[in-house]
């Protein structure tokens, strides 16, 4: 597998697959009566599942942008871009937080 193909698959597949698995677990167990210990152990899965509300749009924009930019780039360039990904995600999350704070900002 070429590094660029792996890079694209690594950007796009794992987060969405993990979100799907976690959502399925939460959906299947939401109607079950569980002890407090099980509820506490499953809480990180529930938080991760609900996190998609905040992370879906910014992460998708970042992943698609990085995937498009990475065409015909060297492995070293892909490595540098992967290291910068968290820093690049911050402005996208900040924009979402500012726009999401007051929906009337979108109309102005």
pLDDT tens-digit readout, 37-96: 888 888 888 888 888 878 888 888 998 888 888 888 888 888 898 889 889 989 988 888
Residue showing tokens 């690594």: 10
Q: What is the pLDDT of residue 16?
A: 86
Domain coverage including residue 87: 3-106
Q: Which two tokens stand for residue 73?
A: 């780039």
The 8-class DSSP code of residue 33 comes to -
pLDDT at 20 exceeding the cut of 60 = yes
Q: Are 59 and 39 in contact (CB under 8 A)?
A: no
Q: For residue 3, what pLDDT band results from cuts at 50, 70 and 90?
A: confident
Number of domains in the chain: 1
Q: What is the pTM of this model?
A: 0.72
Residue 35 has pLDDT above 70, yes or no: yes
b/e 8-46 (16+ beta carbons within 10 angstroms → b): beebbeebeeebeebbeebeeeeeeeeeeeeeeebeebb
Instruction: Indicate the pLDDT class of residue 105, thresholds 50, 70 and 90.
Output: low
């Amino acid at each position: 597998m070429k590094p660029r193909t792996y890079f694209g698959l690594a950007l796009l597949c794992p987060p969405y697959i993990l979100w799907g698995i976690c959502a399925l677990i939460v959906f299947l167990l939401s109607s079950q009566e569980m002890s407090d210990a099980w509820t506490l152990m499953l809480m990180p899965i529930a938080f991760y599942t609900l996190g998609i509300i905040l992370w879906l749009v910014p992460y998708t924009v970042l992943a698609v942008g990085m995937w498009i930019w990475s065409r015909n780039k060297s492995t070293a360039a892909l490595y540098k871009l992967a290291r910068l990904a968290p820093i690049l995600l911050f402005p996208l999350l900040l924009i979402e937080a500012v726009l999401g704070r007051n929906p009337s900002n979108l109309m102005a």
